[in-house]
Amino acid sequence: MKSLIVTNNFNGKKLSSFVFYSFPNLAKNTFYKALRQKDIRINGKRINTDCTIYVDDKLSVYIADNLLFPSINLEIIYEDDNILIVNKPNNIEVVGENSLTNLINKKFSSNNIMPCHRLDRNTTGLVLFAKNKEALDILFNKFKNHEIKKFYRALVYGIPKVKNARLEAFLFKDTKNSIVYISDTFKKGYQKIITSYKVLEEFPNNTSLLDVEIETGKTHQIRAHLAHIGYPIVGDGKYGINSVNKKLGYKYQQLCSYKLQFCFSSNSGILSYLNNKIIELKY
């Protein structure tokens, strides 16, 4: 049995939305079977419908662990004695109770492999992990000093008139509601962001494929920034256009971290061998 407490983000929403968020790899038919069999309780009461839930409701989920957490095949793109680079699938967090980090540490029978950066739950692609504290400290510093470049591919709705641009704006993170806001001018509480893009391909359905680089790594930066300039990522349920997502048949944002480039300009200690190395997915 797993116990959950409903957070503010799911106040007034359907039970199913919270359960699938909490157990992203749970099959829908398993969830609805559990409902029929009254294997889910809210505040101690057995229920058999996908009812509305409210903040601080206590859920008890009587579904076997192997169904709540089905196995995920880890695609390791690069590995050496100090680092590990994994191709993250969608619908899984980088950190947390049932995260990519936990899966990796279980696979390697370790508690020391830690991520050096994060991707959103439904953003796919390359995530860099450190296998030891010395490597972790170095890589944190390299990200901070922009000595590791991150490149993304994004399918957006609309075709930008400007085919190559470097965008500067300001981002505010609303932690309570798990959303960010973009402003073209500085406001109190906002932080500067820099997002560059280049149009790679244009499609007849009014979508285009962008190559995106971020010089600042803020929460939801690419998704919110592209939506702010009028080109939301296809499939993005938070910053995108739901009617477009439904029409095009995408349930998750079409955003992939496809390339990491190591550009060390300062001392890199035990990781000096990585300088000028490029790790790239076949996209």
Per the CB < 8 A criterion, the answer to whether 162 and 229 are in contact is no
Per the CB < 8 A criterion, the answer to whether 79 and 110 are in contact is no
Which regions of 131-267 does DSSP assign to beta strands (E)? 148-157, 164-174, 179-183, 191-203, 207-214, 255-262
Q: Which residues, in sequence order, are bridge partners of residue 219?
A: none
What is the C-alpha separation between 27 and 35, in angstroms, rounded? 13
CA angle 36, 38, 39 (to 5 degrees): 110
What is the C-alpha separation between 32 and 168, in angstroms, rounded? 46
Exposure letters 104-118 (e unless 16+ CB within 10 A, then b): bbeeeeeeebbbbbb
Query: Does the annotation count 120 as an active-site position?
Result: yes
Structure tokens of 133? Answer: 């504290």
State the alpha helices, DSSP H only, in the chain.
15-22, 28-36, 65-68, 100-107, 133-144, 221-228, 242-248
Phi and psi at residue 144, in whole multiples of 5°? -60, -40
Burial of 132 per CB tally in 10 Å (0-12, 13-18, 19+) = middle
Q: Which of 39, 57, 65, 120 is catalytic?
A: 120
- Catalytic residue positions? 120
